[in-house]
Structure 1
Amino acid sequence: MDFHELLAPEELEKLLGQQALVSQASGILDAVLDYKGMMMEYACAIREIETKIENLDTEFGVRYSRNPISTIHTRLKSQVSIMEKMARKGLPMDRASIEEHINDIAGIRVICAYIDDIYRIADALIAQDDIVLLDRKDYIKEPKPSGYRSLHLIVSVPVFLAEEKKLMKAEIQIRTIAMDFWASLEHGIRYKKCGENTTSIVDGLKECAAVIAQTDEKMMQLRKQMEQTESMHDDMEELYEKLKRFEAPF
């Protein structure tokens, strides 16, 4: 006799309803845990890259007597932002599709003092044998129409888990303090309702971006002049010490 034949119709309906509910709840929990596992892996990727960048900053601080990096900010893309991006692209919401099509779930923003520091950090990071450069967009040499300037890198980095190694993608934005100042204020202004003043505000932001770009360049040149002066002073000190040794009696 089949198990279902032992139950009254109303009891059978109730049991099947409970089983369906349990199955549905189990499916939802599986999806939530899978998403949590994915975000954990991206968080690990952020830590890997952040450590690499911090190590470079420490090395350059010793080698050049100054640290090129001002601050490092990290973030994981929110679930809402991920879903909105996938919906705009008309893509399925499964994990494999998300990992394939979204490159900036793991985000690192590096704020440097000077323009040449940006390229020094980027080149040193990309040169590491476990970092793979997937895409590079230089908005410093070719700013966006809005005036936005920054160096964007999409990279993959290995994350070593308990039972496997996974290559995880991350977006790294590297910019100067001045570029970050402009971008932060521009973001706040852009999302306000400007009405009839939109054109003048956009033009004003572009003008500010141009002034900031000139300031960045000027500050870098001043630093280089200062370093040249210090280098000449050090050379003279070294020459003076040699002369003293030359004149010293046997």
Structure 2
Amino acid sequence: MRIANNEISEMEKYIKRIDEDTLIWVQRKSKEVARLMSYYRCAMMEIETKLNVLNEEFSWELDHNPISSIKKRLKSMPSIIGKLERKGHPLSMENIEEHLMDVAGVRVICSFPEDVYAMRDALIRQDDVVLLEEKDYIKNPKPNGYRSLHLIIGIPIFLAKEKKMMKVEVQLRTIAMDFWASLEHQLRYKKNSYFTKEMADELMECARISADLDLRMDAIRKSVEKQKHLEP
């Protein structure tokens, strides 16, 4: 399996600053860590399956697919260790599971803002899904203009001899929100670049335009649906 350059860079930085005790822990717990990461992957598969089923239902019930795409990601070990350090928790298997909510992440790209909330409601309505935390950055955007709906969900995975509850971060956003967020991250965190206030202000304006575009496209969609219902 090929490793991306940014992952290699992250690992190199991690190795340079890691203390001996942490390195020993990682080596000693390698099998347990691999098993836990496997559990997180299973949890993401469970979420993805639920979303695909809902998308299929919506496609014939509402005559359009609310989900444009689904992306999954698993935090790397350097990121996990770094986040535990920033939160002030010692490195342990228990602390990874208890204190890190976003080891596993699923990003759901929807067509329209209304689809975001429809998928959110349909997902958390399911009996085996537990909503642990919710942050609505669509109704309350971040200061930099970022918009998305973040959910922390508890989901069971069914193993050969046990059922285990896992946490997954689910981000729901529109195509326009994802376009802005992806490019904003590239521009703001570009290597060896200097980000000015003027650039930040321009990105904020782009975020405003993106939000307006979502509203205008949604209005067109509603007009099309209304016209369709008026036809004999």
> Which TM-score applies when normalising by structure 2?
0.87
Write the deviation string for residues 172-222 of structure 1: whole angstroms up to 9, x where unpaired. 000000000000000011113554x61000000000000110010010011
Structure 1 counterpart of 2:153, one-letter code: V
- Equivalent positions of 1:16-165 (< 5 A) are 30-165=28-163
Write the deviation string for residues 25-80 of structure 1: whole angstroms up to 9, x where unpaired. x9866510000010010000000000000000000001011111100000111111
- The 1:203/1:29 distance shift into structure 2, 3 A limit, reads closer
Structure 2 counterpart of 1:124, one-letter code: A
Question: SS state of the match for residue 171, structure 2?
Answer: strand
In our comparison, the structure showing a higher alpha carbon Rg is 1
Write the deviation string for residues 138-158 of structure 1: whole angstroms up to 9, x where unpaired. 000000000000000000000
Structure 1 counterpart of 2:48, one-letter code: E
Structure 2 counterpart of 1:119, one-letter code: Y
Question: SS state of the match for residue 146, structure 1?
Answer: coil
Q: Give 1:128 deviation, angstroms.
A: 0.3
Q: Which has the higher helix share?
A: 1
Question: SS state of the match for residue 109, structure 1?
Answer: strand
Rounded to whole Å, the distance in 2 between the matches of 1:28 and 1:79 is 9
Rounded to whole Å, the distance in 2 between the matches of 1:194 and 1:149 is 24
Question: SS state of the match for residue 158, structure 1?
Answer: strand
Rounded to whole Å, the distance in 2 between the matches of 1:29 and 1:228 is 61
Quote the sequence identity (%): 51
> Which TM-score applies when normalising by structure 1?
0.81
Give 5+ residue unaligned stretches, structure 1: 1-25, 238-250
State the superposition RMSD in angstroms.
1.4
Q: Which residue of 2 aligns with 1:208?
A: 206
Rounded to whole Å, the distance in 2 between the matches of 1:140 and 1:117 is 13
Q: 2:187 aligns with which of 170, 186, 189?
A: 189
Q: Which residue of 2 aligns with 1:224?
A: 222
Question: SS state of the match for residue 73, structure 1?
Answer: strand
Rounded to whole Å, the distance in 2 between the matches of 1:39 and 1:63 is 36
Q: Which residue of 1 aligns with 2:170?
A: 172
Rounded to whole Å, the distance in 2 between the matches of 1:38 and 1:27 is 15
- Aligned residue pairs total 208
Greater alpha carbon shift after TM alignment, 197-206 vs 174-183: 197-206
Rounded to whole Å, the distance in 2 between the matches of 1:28 and 1:224 is 54
Write the deviation string for residues 84-129 of structure 1: whole angstroms up to 9, x where unpaired. 1011112111100110000001100000110000000000000001
Rounded to whole Å, the distance in 1 between the matches of 2:206 and 2:229 is 34
Q: Which residue of 1 aligns with 2:18?
A: none
